Amino acid sequence: MAGYASIVIDETTGDVLNEVNADQLNYPASLTKMMTLYLAFDAMEKGHLKWDQRLPVSEWAADKMPTKLGLKAGDSVSVQDCVLGMIVLSANDAATVMGEALGGSEPGFARLMTAKAHELGMTNTTFKNAAGLPDEEQMTTARDLVKLAMALYERFPEQYHYFSTRQFSFRGRTIVGHNRLMYRYPGMDGLKTGFTNASGFNLASSAVRGDHRLFGVVMGGESGPARDQLMARLLDNGFAHQSTDPVLVADAAGAAPSHKLAAKAAHLMAALSPIGRAEAAPIERATLKAPPHGAGRIVPAVQAEHWGIQLGAYSRESQAEQALHGTRFKDKEAEVVKPSRGERLYRARLSGFSEQQAREACRSLHRSGHLCAIVPPEKGNIKLAKRD
């Protein structure tokens, strides 16, 4: 199973309210279909598709397993049924039909998906098929997926309501959905579930209360109920401006130790997390916009060497200082970050890296058996989540 991860963002303010392993590469499973739907909505907006248009079903699409509408090779299906099939049933045959219609072939569509992902700022994402079926090269992160969820809501407000569809009629059958958390969580109106053996149980959700809409992504859950329970807790805490213990994320994935080792696990997660439990950093809203035609990757307005790494989090300041004294990176600026509000941990950090240098440094430390977390430039100056 891939690693576990989570992220929650306040769409109203752009603040990241919670994140655990948000930049770790994971398998998207059926959350992939959010990109297939994005491209379908985009094609309809541009007049390339119509809701009642019939799309041909290839043998390749008809053979997709396990979750499917039961489409037959040589048959045809409407765009609307494809969309509802993906949202409600997570139908793999419907997703493949859509991919072939838009990309000419599934590999061709996968290239379109990846290109669009990068335009949306999903720089760590690669798609290989339209449905999210297992492929070792099809990878993404929780942070990238939450950008996609937000882009669907902001870019296609007239279509977003389809993500709250609970059931629809298809050829005399009633197709019932399985996004059970959406049915019982107040204010939740989408988006998508996902599961493969490799990915674990994934979920992208959005909910609104008052003037605030939150988007959340959970990856790597051990079961559907555990994943749903974690998402509900993350959203509840987000709306209440409260932190969520990272151990709960690990526990939902079946990765947390017994209660006797919970304190040690919390310390470990704090060491891996570049921000404190009571801290939050803003997401870069501009990443949801595509760059001008012919332009390269949008680079944030920060110096290239403002990235950092975190060597650990400690209960005593002297321990953090000792960790810094023993580092091999003598040419970098060392800092002990004192506890934020509600915390008691001192974080040992080094700064002055480029993004590539920071990633290479952490990979080197991981190979040596040491903890390390990358600290992006925007997290150098942590700010508390905004409150009403």
- Name every residue whose Cβ is closer than 8 Å to that of residue 5 and which is 6 or more positions away in sequence: 20, 21, 22, 24, 26, 141, 142, 217, 218, 219, 220, 249
Q: Tell me which of 6, 58, 90, 243 is the catalytic residue.
A: 90
My answer on whether omega of the bond before 66 falls inside 30° of 0, hence cis, is yes
- Name every residue whose Cβ is closer than 8 Å to that of residue 124 and which is 6 or more positions away in sequence: 23, 25, 139, 140, 141, 143, 144
- Name every residue whose Cβ is closer than 8 Å to that of residue 132 and which is 6 or more positions away in sequence: 28, 29, 30, 31, 32, 33, 92, 95, 138, 194, 196
Q: Tell me which of 6, 33, 58, 243 is the catalytic residue.
A: 33
**Residue found under tokens 């499973």:** 29
Q: How far apart are CA 68 and CA 63, in angstroms?
A: 9
CA-CA distances (angstroms) from residue 39 to 100, 156, 360? Answer: 12, 11, 34
Query: Encoding tokens for residue 91?
Result: 């139908």
- Name every residue whose Cβ is closer than 8 Å to that of residue 111 and which is 6 or more positions away in sequence: 103
CA-CA distances (angstroms) from residue 14 to 20, 79, 145, 150, 159? Answer: 17, 33, 15, 10, 22
Q: Is 340 a catalytic residue?
A: no
Q: Is 192 a catalytic residue?
A: no
Contact 99, 130 (CB under 8 A): yes
Counting every residue written for the chain, the total comes to: 388
DSSP 85: I
E strand or H helix that includes residue 267: helix 262-272
- Name every residue whose Cβ is closer than 8 Å to that of residue 254 and which is 6 or more positions away in sequence: 222, 226
Q: Is 330 a catalytic residue?
A: no
Q: Tell me which of 6, 30, 206, 273 is the catalytic residue.
A: 30
Kind of pairing, strands 307-314 and 200-209? unpaired
End-to-end CA distance of the chain: 39
Contact 359, 124 (CB under 8 A): no
Catalytic residues: 30, 33, 90
